[in-house]
Structure 1
Amino acid sequence: MDVRKNFLGHLYAALEREGIYTYVDREELRKGKQITPALMKAIQDSRIAIIIFSENYASSPWCLEEVVKIMECKEQRNLMVLPVFYKIKPQEVRTPRQSYQKAMVKHERKFGKDSEKVSKWKKALFDAGNLSGWDFNDEDEADLIKRIVNEISMQLHRTPLDVAKHPIGIHRRIVYLESMLNLESDNDVLMIGLWGHGGIGKTTLAKALYNDIFRRFEASCLLADVRETSKDSKDLVLLQEKLLSQILPGKELPVFNVAGDQIYEVKTLENPEALELFKKHAFLRNNEIVIRRDLVKSALHYANGLPLALEVLGSFLCGRREEEWESALDKLAKIPDKNINDVLKISYDGLEDYAKEIFLDIACFFKGQSIKHIKEVLDSCGFNTTIGVQVLVERSLITIERPIEGEKIQMHDLIQLMGMDIVKQECPNDLSGRSRLWLYEDVYDVLSGDMESNAIKAIVLDLPTTEEIYIGPNALGNMRRLRLLIMINVHNSFQGPIHLPNELRWFEWPECASSVLKFPPGPKKLVRLDLHKSNIQVAMDQFKVRI
């Protein structure tokens, strides 16, 4: 039965009316038996694929190649696949039976019973036939089309999360976690805790599980930064309330501690998986470079099966020669009681100075913020931010997330802590000897006095609620290398002028108390001045160029 002239045509028109861009495999454009590059690209670029299984679907090698490609993209690119079983039963597709069985017998006669091509077709049909979709017999077609369009419209507003560039070892864990969730049961609530060492992939696994199941529900939510959010809470009730408020806005539901929780221990990658993930990062661009097996084995030893360490160390070694591998691994070998932090720092140590500055600013101040804002701030400080960010991405020190509201720079907690620790170790016992300050207590201690500092380059204090802070008359002016000053929710009590250094590039202090900005004589480097909702006075003649 040909559905192109009736059901498919009506469905296509309905999707077009909703403004949903739809690509249809048009029979008249087919050439030969091979799937065309244009259709392959259309499948790869799509967010949702609808497979309409009709009576004669399996008789077409072209259609079977399509379903193979679609199921590959589901596995590799998280393509959402929705089957429509048009006047046939799902088991006819899975087994296959009736017209599907006859078609597969015919293909086996042509290509051979043990043909790899036919085996791929059968597997694709089996996997697609097991998916949730729509069964249609002789009901109202218009009603079915309406339901399909509504479902697709809803799903297009929900996007999957960025997980991992190379999701090695994730699939088998997801299968097990789904069995623990027992989604077909009648239980209202089930909680599973992911437990394991830092850098072992707990967040990655949680995101991958979310992507695999979130479309089965009418609403979904993933809360990030749970550790920071819950560190002051005695239980998880507040987090559960936040979760429910995002899934069911406007509704108040009582939340209690949930009994019967399960714990899943996330273990390190097994040797074959660890090697595969390491190779994906270490030999990404320069496959012609041959590295001795003992060096690869040594790198795997130091990474110890931790995905984060495998990614960062592999990315650092990528494209380097054997002698550079030997030097880096020899450096690790000399560190007593080495841990993951030492492995991660190898990548940081190999950065150029400007990239180190960008990395430390992101780690201390800007994790999770929009890439547009970060580039604006750091470009004002004279950094080559665009290429610097790209280098950090290539080294697996940061990632770019692309939610609907725009691109954001993210960083693994362990990498962020490493960056913060690098700054703290610049001068462990003297805050004025550190390059960056971001904690309230540290900023207060430094600014409440008039100590001089040639080390402090940036202060960013972004408080959740308004706090009062005393600033000494010359505290900021004495920081001669200060290039970046951001004070959010910070109120000052002094009445005198604010003295600032000429090196300052970016000054942002909303709602600052009434005062006057003063710079010393000489050239100024100020690029951005943000004083909205404040009464600060700026003497503009300070910025005049005198000839």
Structure 2
Amino acid sequence: MALVKSADQSQNASHPPHSYDVFLSFRGEDTRKTFTDHLYTAFVNAGFRTFRDDDELERGEDIKPELQKAIQQSRSSVIVLSKNYASSRWCLDELVMILERKRTSDYVVLPVFYDVDPSQVRKPTASLATAFVKNGSLKVKVEKRRAALTEVADLAGMVLQNQADGHESKFIKKIVKVIEGKLSRTAFNVAPHAHLIGIHSRVQDINLWLHDGSSKVRVLLIYGMRGIGKTTLAKFVYNINFKRYKGSSFLENIKEHSKQTNGLVQIQKKLLSDVSNGKRVKVGNISEGIIKIEDALSSKRVLLVFDDVDHVEQLDAVLKMQGQFCPGSKIIITTSHAALLNASHQAIKVHNLETFSRNESLELFSWHAFGQDHPEKDYMELSERVVNLSGGLPLALKILGSSLSGKSTVVWESALNKLEAIPNGEILNKLRISYDSLQDEHDRSLFLHIACFFIGMEKDVIVRILDSCGFYTIVGIQNLIDRCLVTVDEYNKVHMHYMIRDMGRGIVHLESKEPGERSRLWNHKDSFKVLKEKNGTQTIEGLVLNMGMHPAYCTPRNSNEDLIDSFPFFFVGILTVSSIIEDPKPQ
């Protein structure tokens, strides 16, 4: 079995992903094989992903693109200012770029003065000053470099002569400690702590598993429907535990990354880089990557998280030989695909995530709608309506809360009326990923039939109906269960989350503006309209009739929509059965 993690760190949209904790800037001729080498090793041993340029060859006129990228994708820079640092135009150009990065973000910059005093950098001596002339650069560049040296000299830095009595080993330990304090070693910005509703009760069982002291490689699978909070939970667990391990990697959104060109190889390279603390590893193909991962993880106790795994092949690309991993390593997988439960002969612990309770839902929604843990007084009833419509799905609660925040009660009322008729598109698009991932049109068609017609019906009845219509219903329903699209309760009845059901019906609704040109009609009004106007087409595969709602049968007592479930539904077309269907949210 194998696992994966997208190592891109969670960032604000305006900032690039963090591939490195520390970018080392130094003059190679001065310190590459001495002080900087020892400093780099100390950072790596402390668990920091550290970038240093190992290229001994003469560079071109301009700074290399990979160095530019490394600076942009690092969380901090440590600048080793030695006697000949300013004699290198490449070092000075790196310095200019580092300081520009600092001015536009919370980037950490730590100057380390090695055998040179800050005053010498601020006001270069003759040897430093000649470097500008020797470089022969344009005047603008020269001025930028001079200004950068002055600026870095004025930053709060560390001077070898002033600390640890000049002992380099002690000095290096202090540098590592300072960077560790400044970065605070948190891998992911999950969410404001107050918004992590119910997180501690959900994390408790996972932490017990992580701390059980087992010497065996163990796998935990966090399983549940899309939008239920699997990734948030995994990130929270990773943040509070990854320091306990010699190496760690969180590969995020594997499903999407694996679709990209050479995606699985890129995932392998990211995993290798993470567990090697930022060291760049060349991987030519998947087979080569598997061998290198095997070697890297065989002697190091690691924590690996593979987020949104969709197929066993994605796991095999990184953890095919997990039996050879170092004892005590832990592996966490998040997925909405139950087939992964049987993807390994080794024991797997399953953490099945459930939807939020009513109180949890109201609290999460309130944080996003009002910035507090409860609704404002005038919005209480409206908030309760949102909670009911969300079905306890965190994704829906966050999106709806944010979209309604700051709006008047009149707008809320209109928005909720619309939501009851037309589900929120952003939510449905995210949930549709599970529908699109079904293996063939057979399963997709079966899903749409259940979403439109069969919610609440006994599984055996559904099988009897749809098998007679050419479906392979038993295996099809199992595939839907595996994708967290339907559930079967203890009474053998098939159920579907409100939002999942609305997603399915939304897919059908998008087939055409005209009901007669859609494949399925689940609303009695649409069915009456099509039959009355005789404008049905060959596209229609099934429709529902509630004759109790027909004007000829309606009385004041039974014309209420709430009585819809008290009347039989008749399926016309490929469906030829009369039965009562219990739809949990009548339309």
TM-score (norm 1): 0.33
TM-score (norm 2): 0.31
